[in-house]
Amino acid sequence: MNAEPKTNITLKKRIVWLFIVVFLVQTVIVGRYAYVQIIWSPQLQKWAVEQWTNDIRISARRGDILDRNGNPLAVSGNVERVDAFLKDINDKEKSKKITKEEIAEKLSPILNMTKENILSKLNKKMSNGAPVACVTIARRIEKEQGNRVRALKLPGIIVSEDTKRYYPNGNFLSQVLGSTNVDGDGRSGIELQYNNDLKGVPGRYMGETDAYHRELPYKIANYYPPKNGNDVVLTIDQYLQYYTEKALERGLVEYKAKQVSAIIMDPKTGDILAMASKPDFDPNNPVKGSVNESVKLWKNRTVNYNFEPGSILKVITAAAAINENLVRDSDKFACNGSYKVADRIIHCWRRQGHGIQTFPQILQNSCNVGFMILGERIGKDRLYKYYNAFGFGKKTNIDLPGEEKGIIRPIEKVGKVELATEAFGQGISVTSIQFLTAFAAVANNGKIMETHILKKKLKTDENGNTSVVKEIQPKVVKQVISEQSAKKLREILESVVTYGAAKKAYIQGYHIGGKTGTAQVVENGRYAQGKYISSFAAMAPSKDPKFVIILSIDEPDPSNYYSGSTAAPLAKTLFEDIFRYWNMQPDTGEIANQNIVQEVIIPEVRGLSVDEAGLILKKNKIDYEVQGNGNIIYDMSPKPGISINENTKITLYLGVEKNTSAMVAVPDFKGMTKKEINDIANSLELNIVFMGDGIGATQDVPPKSVVKKGSTVKIILEQPED
């Protein structure tokens, strides 16, 4: 009687639990269905689309970089790339239709890559150990290579468009142009500075494909064309750049220097016409040797490097004194070789002193004592006012990456000693572009211009029509000194080249104004022994300058490191090229009309044939006549070692044997470097004994004295005026 009700209760419980289980199962199924259809659906659709479509990124053509006259400096060529879709490759490998080794073996000879390198890419894993979806096998391959890869019809291997950067002139202007990385983005120089303008906007191609990712011909593809980058036109003049680099390469070798650099600027516009440093690199192959060594060569020393300017800074001290009416040409400065400032004795470069000098003479002679006295007149407040006005201690904001801003002391830390040394060029650091920008203000009647290397940006539409996107106009930053002060200073700077420390830059008939400077290299806050930077800042024509230039030689041979003997003559060769290029004719102005004639030393040619002697004399710009009979030069008049004007005619006397008792004249060695003295003395078979350091000052055997070969001449050297 009681068993039946219990059975019914148990059955009902089982039915309830069954309904609960069924309900839960249905709920899970419906929930899962809802999750798949609603939540997971977009991802599933994306995966499905990826399985039957190609979605390829199409690189935009990178804009060209051109010089101011439209000459190409950096261009982009149409090439191709090879990518691998690893899911397709793995599926085919599982079905044993093809292996990764077989794919790598077929691609290797076409792509000029090792089989192992390709296999490492095909086996690439994510950090969690799962295979990656897609890898790039090779970029920037030629179209012929791409067509050969297509012909293989390998599963998962896709060939698409790519671009490659070419620098048609190799290392020409390399540190200004910079280079691009593997993705085509700029990593230094103009390529980095204007990367967003140059690179454009990538396009996309989307189309349905078969299992091998080959496009299905009956399906409609979506194509979004890339927007090509803008062309960038620089202020650089390709020909001036060539002459600059040619001069720097010569200076690097001739002076055994660590680095040589130069900038040419239009002072009226702020346009950079040439900018270079040597050694440099080839942007077509930017990494050579170690990465660290390569990165050092990428740096543009004229912008990215601070150095102590030395005596070229005296131009700014002089500008401040002239503009503040603190000095007149007739003012006298007494230099006995040193000057006491506070409790310290500071020496002039010329230990025996310059004596009594006028204001123009202290700049011509680069007298440290004269400029210490001038610094006291100006005072630190006024001097720092001009430092700030000329832009020292802050960036010029030239449109190149990595610009340094120079180093100047906080004015509150400038005492009497610091003021004295800064007045003649020690204790302050500048960049080449910073100093040239300031120097250009003197050339531009006191107006400092905004320096720039971009001239304009160009856009080319799909029809090939070119339009200007942006064009840079000259911009005056400020008037730092008056027009009258600038004119006065230019006159003095011209006398420095004609009569003073920079006379080895003088070219007869041309107005050139400039200032030399030789400064010790600062390492770890101290002056490095035996390491110097020789600099020369100049303008031409000095009455109305068309260009300004700064040339620096970093760590030249210690036997000849003075700026007047290195940077000045190197700049002269560059001036000559510039004058010819611009067809600038000689000017018969007041200073240029002093008829300063170049002198040459008669070389030893006795014992040579007439033809051999003639070649040597012609090279030295010496005319000659021949007298007597014989087949060799027996004697000559004047004697070897005598200084004569260029194109002077000398007499060669012929004989049949060598003159064993030939005498030579002792040259005037004053102003020559050790190397120059030794070279001439060796050619004349004279022995030299040096005393002191620097350039020739006095000699114990007077110039033009006729002596026997093998005679000894003692020469006292002294440091030159820079």
Q: Is 64 inside a domain boundary?
A: yes
Q: Are 398 and 189 in contact (CB under 8 A)?
A: no
The pLDDT assigned to 336 comes to: 92
Q: Is 191 inside a domain boundary?
A: yes
On the question of a cis peptide bond just before residue 541, with omega within 30 degrees of 0, the verdict is yes
The pLDDT assigned to 595 comes to: 41
Q: Are 389 and 320 in contact (CB under 8 A)?
A: no
Q: Is 299 inside a domain boundary?
A: no
Last residue of a domain, one of 232, 264, 279: 232
Query: 612 and 585 share a domain?
Result: no
Query: 577 and 705 share a domain?
Result: no
The pLDDT assigned to 593 comes to: 38
Q: Is 48 inside a domain boundary?
A: no
28 Cβ contact list (under 8 Å, min separation 6) = none
Distance separating alpha carbons of residues 103 and 115, to the nearest angstrom: 9
Q: Is 7 helix (H, G, I), strand (E, B) or coil?
A: helix
Helix or strand (DSSP H, E) at 718: strand 712-718
Query: 96 and 29 share a domain?
Result: no
Torsion of CA 418, 420, 422, 426, to 10 degrees: -90
Last residue of a domain, one of 539, 573, 594: 594
Query: 172 and 33 share a domain?
Result: no
Instruction: Report which of 374, 339, 370 is spatially closest to residue 356, judged by C-alpha positions.
Output: 370
Per-residue DSSP letter, 390: H
User: What count of other Cβ atoms lies within 10 Å of the Cβ of residue 262?
Assistant: 28
Residues 683-702 as b or e (16 or more Cβ within 10 Å = b): ebebebeeeeebbbbebeee
Distance separating alpha carbons of residues 159 and 161, to the nearest angstrom: 7
23 Cβ contact list (under 8 Å, min separation 6) = none
Query: 620 and 705 share a domain?
Result: yes
The pLDDT assigned to 661 comes to: 85
Radius of gyration of the chain (CA): 38
Below-70 pLDDT ranges, the chain: 1-7, 44-58, 126-130, 204-224, 588-597, 720-722
Q: Is 469 inside a domain boundary?
A: yes
Which residues are part of the catalytic machinery? 311
The pLDDT assigned to 130 comes to: 65
Q: How far is CA 168 from CA 40, 61, 173, 287, 451, in A?
A: 53, 17, 11, 17, 27
The phi, psi pair for 384, rounded to 5°, reads -70, -25
Last residue of a domain, one of 209, 232, 255: 232
Query: Which residue type, as a one-letter code, is found at position 551?
Result: L
Query: 252 and 396 share a domain?
Result: yes
Count of structural domains within the chain: 4
303 Cβ contact list (under 8 Å, min separation 6) = 398, 400, 402, 403, 404, 431, 432, 433
- Name the burial class of residue 128, with classes exposed (0-12), middle (13-18) and buried (19+) by CB atoms within 10 angstroms of its CB: exposed
> For the domain that residue 559 is a member of, what is the CATH number?
3.40.710.10
Q: Are 259 and 533 in contact (CB under 8 A)?
A: no
Query: 516 and 580 share a domain?
Result: yes
Query: 251 and 370 share a domain?
Result: yes
Q: Are 653 and 635 in contact (CB under 8 A)?
A: yes
Q: Is 90 inside a domain boundary?
A: yes
The pLDDT assigned to 115 comes to: 87
Q: Is 120 inside a domain boundary?
A: yes
Query: 350 and 265 share a domain?
Result: yes
pTM assigned to the model:
0.79
pLDDT in tens, 581-629: 999 988 755 443 344 457 899 999 999 999 999 999 999 899 999 999 8
> For the domain that residue 679 is a member of, what is the CATH number?
3.30.10.20
The pLDDT assigned to 188 comes to: 94
- Name the burial class of residue 151, with classes exposed (0-12), middle (13-18) and buried (19+) by CB atoms within 10 angstroms of its CB: exposed
Strand-pairing partners, residue 468, are: 458
Query: 585 and 607 share a domain?
Result: no
Q: Is 297 inside a domain boundary?
A: no
Query: 17 and 133 share a domain?
Result: no
Q: How far is CA 96 from CA 116, 209, 681, in A?
A: 21, 22, 84
Q: Which long-range contacts (CB under 8 A, 24 or more apart) does 118-127 make?
A: 121/84, 122/84, 122/86, 122/89, 124/86
Query: 607 and 548 share a domain?
Result: no
Which residue range(s) make up the domain with 266? 239-291+308-594
If you count them, how many residues does the chain have?
A: 722
The pLDDT assigned to 596 comes to: 44
Strand-pairing partners, residue 449, are: 476
Distance separating alpha carbons of residues 255 and 261, to the nearest angstrom: 13
For residue 92, give both structure tokens.
Answer: 């085919």
Instruction: Report which of 317, 270, 62, 277 is spatially closest to residue 174, judged by C-alpha positions.
Output: 277
252 Cβ contact list (under 8 Å, min separation 6) = 259, 260, 278, 279
